[in-house]
Amino acid sequence: MSPTSMKKLLSLLATSILVLATHAQTSPYAGDSTRAIKALSEGDIARLSSGHGMGLARAAELNSYPGPRHVLDMADRLELTETQAAELNRVVDAMKSAALPLGRDVIDREKELDQLFTSKQATAEAVLQLTREIGRLQGERRAVHLNAHVATVAILNAGQISRYNELRGCDSPESAASPAPHRH
């Protein structure tokens, strides 16, 4: 092989390696094929298993409906009364009690869906059935978290909600308006 041919071959090989390396680094699925459940990261599974909202209540949060867990974390700065804290703890407990089994069910259905594809048994009907069930479960999880925010508004006064918005960075002009009358 001539030196010129060798240079061309090495150049082609180097370019091919660079293209493959670049593709491997930029693939949105890099590393996901080794997950236990392909559609869920380990973090997703942990958050679903522990009842976390995972951003499901953002519509409430950004419209002056504080999250009960966050309110309790700011109890001193919001000057919560003992009664308010006790009521908020009940809201959090009820939210977790409802969210935990739903999160476990989402994980189980995602595992079933993954297994359909892993086993090459996926059919349009089976996929539709499982994805509808996952959607229903996710919708119920979202309602649980949103309704905890609704319950929280009924416990706080307008000043506490305003302060919460300020502390959480939700103090845009649109979120400054109070969503509803408050008991306290």
pLDDT recorded at residue 33: 81
CA distance 168 to 66: 9
Residue from 53, 13, 14 nearest 152 by CA: 53
Q: The pTM is what? A: 0.77
pLDDT at 19 over 90: no
> What pLDDT, in 10s, does the model give residues 112-152?
999 999 999 999 999 999 999 999 999 999 999 999 999 99
pLDDT band per the 50, 70, 90 thresholds, residue 28:
confident
Which residue do the tokens 């002056």 mark?
Answer: 64
CA distance to 3, 66, 77, 151, per residue, from 143 (Å): 70, 15, 28, 12
Maximum alpha-carbon separation in the chain: 88
